[in-house]
């Protein structure tokens, strides 16, 4: 029961965050930016500065509070994304929107892959009969 209430609370928080981002985008569109540019800036910032770190934090550090996850998510994203793009530039890949998008999606997918491998290893250890 406690888990269901916690999931409902997290859902409400996520909904508030998304609505807030939409409102921020609409307010930005009242400036010299178009609506599409304001949505791109707002949601792109979240995609670059928050999402990779949140995925990593959520997958590997489940026992943290939501505020701790959010703070750690920003810190991890700010550390991981620029380093990834920097090293991709050092090996000769050009920095543009598409390559940045692909590298951020790759960070997220690699995190999920590591978690799946880790889960499979743990399941094998527990499924072995003890002698």
Q: For 95-128, how does the pLDDT look when each residue is reduced to its tens digit (9 = 90+)?
A: 998 999 999 999 999 998 998 898 888 888 887 6
Segment 1-16 mean pLDDT: 78
Cα distances (Å, whole numbers) of residue 28 to 8, 11, 25:
30, 26, 5
CA pseudo-torsion sign 27, 55, 110, 77: positive
Give the domain range for residue 95.
Answer: 50-123
The pLDDT score that the predictor gives to residue 60 is: 85
Instruction: Identify whether residues 67 and 114 lie together within a single domain.
Output: yes
Instruction: Work out how many domains the chain is built from and give that number.
Output: 2
53-84 per-position pLDDT tens digit: 999 998 888 888 888 988 999 999 999 999 99
Mean pLDDT, the chain, rounded, equals 88
* Among the listed residues 55, 58, 66, 57, the one whose alpha carbon sits nearest the alpha carbon of residue 108: 55
Residue 131 is assigned to a structural domain of this protein: no
Could you tell me if 108 and 62 lie in one domain?
yes
Q: What pLDDT is stored for residue 1 in this prediction?
A: 65
Within-domain flag for 129: no
Q: Mean pLDDT throughout 6-30? A: 87
In terms of domains, do 18 and 58 share one? no
Q: Is the pLDDT of residue 131 over 60?
A: no
């Amino acid at each position: 029961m406690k888990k269901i209430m916690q999931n409902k609370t997290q859902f409400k928080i996520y909904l508030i965050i998304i609505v807030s981002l939409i409102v921020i985008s609409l307010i930005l569109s009242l400036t010299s930016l178009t609506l599409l540019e304001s949505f791109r800036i707002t949601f792109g910032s979240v995609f670059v500065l928050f999402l990779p770190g949140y995925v990593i934090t959520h997958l590997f550090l489940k026992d943290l509070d939501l505020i701790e996850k959010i703070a750690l998510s920003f810190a991890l994203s700010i550390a991981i994304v620029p380093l990834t793009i920097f090293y991709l530039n050092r090996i000769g890949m050009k920095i543009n929107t598409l390559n940045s998008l692909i590298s951020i999606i790759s960070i997220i997918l690699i995190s999920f892959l590591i978690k799946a491998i880790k889960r499979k290893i743990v399941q094998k250890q527990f499924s072995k009969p003890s002698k």
